[in-house]
Chains A and B, each alone.
Chain A
Amino acid sequence: MSMFDGFHDFKLDVLKEVGNIGAGNAATALSRLLDKPIDMTVPRVNLIQFDEIAERVGGSEQVVVAVFLRVDGDAPGNMFFIIEQKSAKTMLNNLLSIKVASEDHYTEMEYSALSEIGNILAGSYLSSLADFTRLSMVPTVPSIAVDMAGAILSFGLLQHGQMGDSALLIDTAFLEGEESMEGHFFLIPDPDSFEKIFRALGVPSE
């Protein structure tokens, strides 16, 4: 049994709105960076089994580009900004006019640029959330990895690992139509952060 089994639909809706506000701001920031319209999906908020989380981005062995940030403050958690390799290269091309050297190799400059994009997006996601909830949410310095999705995502599940075999995840995908760029924001609040978020938003506890 998980502590989240008792979450009513209403609470999940509140978390969806949390994802909406955060990712909406981040998508706007990305749109400005790239000077292109960015669409986003309705956030998906589910309690998902550890094994299934990587399926969201193509499976455990799918190689992805991930920027990871730990969120400190009142409601700590883990945040990932995840894009496919192809989308990452397209983004670099558009943003910096970097002539992409190779499909699956990254230069220091490219790493640094992607990391900074992740930083800007996560920053706008979290600052809008902090404004909305009046909780302090401070991102740590971002760290970037290009590796198997399973290996990367499991790192963000450690806090939930102590509680059970599933995690509550706020997942928002964004899309750029013309060049079919696609990416995900994953916000995985620590188990104890959910009550704090609910309390801050005036959701009565059961």
Chain B
Amino acid sequence: MTIEQKLVKVGMADLGTASEDEVIRTTGLGSCVGLTLYDPKARLAGLAHIMLPTSAIARESNLNLAKYADTAVPELIRRMVLAGASANRLVAKMAGGAQMFVFAGQSDTMRIGPRNVESCKLALLPFAIPIIGEDTGGNYGRTIELDCRSGILAIRSVQYGAKEL
């Protein structure tokens, strides 16, 4: 075990950044996608717990940028640059986007997990941020944790235990 690391928690439809010897975590990703960005040189990490693919469907008056893939990606980049990261050093890893329940008639809502993953990738494209690790899909929940010191993304699930990206 390593020396105690400070933990930064990110809730559902939320985003945050962490630095130096901190660890950033989000729990219980189902159809949501946990998108992490990492600047290896500055040892800065960012994490967004994205719930829905596009803000075009938003009906809320105060838009929560962290909730939608198309708004969360630019906002997370902005926050990381503000914290001292360099946009052209960023690398992305993502996990989640599962289909928790399987139904006979697959409506659009039911396919929300895969759509979240697609939207995240689409939103990363204009920033030319490479996706260097991905553990998405399936039908199970995940908890993820990014270590700022190493940039390693640890993924835990009930059915498949732990893995690292």
Contact A61 B27 (CB under 8 A): yes
Closest A residue to B101 using CB positions: A143
Cβ-based interface call for B2 (8 A)? no
Q: Which of B51, B100, B104 contacts A141 (CB under 8 A)?
A: B104
Contact B13 A60 (CB under 8 A): no
In the bound complex, how far is the Cα of B104 from the Cα of A152, in angstroms? 18
Contact A145 B12 (CB under 8 A): no
Contact B28 A150 (CB under 8 A): yes
Known: A68-B101, A148-B28, A163-B59. A51 touches B12 (CB 8 A): yes
Interface residues of A in 133-149 (CB under 8 A from B): 140-141, 143, 145-149
Q: Which of B12, B104, B159 contacts A150 (CB under 8 A)?
A: B12
Q: Which of A60, A68, A155, A162 contacts B59 (CB under 8 A)?
A: A162
Chain B residues within an 8 Å CB radius of A161? 13, 51-52, 67
Q: Which of B13, B58, B100 contacts A152 (CB under 8 A)?
A: B100
Instruction: Determine chain A's interface SS by DSSP, over half rule.
Output: mixed
Contact with A along B1-23 (1 / 0, CB 8 A): 00000000001111000000000
Cβ-based interface call for B35 (8 A)? no
Contact B67 A165 (CB under 8 A): yes
Contact with B along A31-73 (1 / 0, CB 8 A): 0000000000000000000110010000111010000101000
In the bound complex, how far is the Cα of B29 from the Cα of A145, in angstroms? 14
Known: A154-B32, A164-B60, A165-B13. A148 touches B103 (CB 8 A): no
Contact A150 B61 (CB under 8 A): no
Contact with B along A178-201 (1 / 0, CB 8 A): 000000000000010000000000
Cβ-based interface call for B141 (8 A)? yes
Cβ-based interface call for A100 (8 A)? no
Nearest CB of B to A78, in Å: 10
Cβ-based interface call for A158 (8 A)? yes
Closest A residue to B27 using CB positions: A60
Contact with B along A1-38 (1 / 0, CB 8 A): 10000000000000000000000000000000000000
Nearest CB of B to A149, in Å: 7
Q: Which of A148, A153, A162 contacts B52 (CB under 8 A)?
A: A162
Contact with A along B21-54 (1 / 0, CB 8 A): 0000001111110000000000000000001100
Nearest CB of B to A68, in Å: 5
Cβ-based interface call for B155 (8 A)? no
Q: Which of B51, B98, B142 contacts A158 (CB under 8 A)?
A: B51
Contact A143 B103 (CB under 8 A): yes
Chain B residues within an 8 Å CB radius of A51? 11-12, 14
Cβ-based interface call for B132 (8 A)? no
Cβ-based interface call for B62 (8 A)? yes
16 contacts between A and B (CB under 8 A): A50-B11, A51-B12, A54-B28, A59-B27, A147-B141, A148-B141, A150-B27, A150-B30, A151-B29, A151-B30, A151-B31, A152-B100, A152-B141, A154-B31, A155-B31, A164-B60
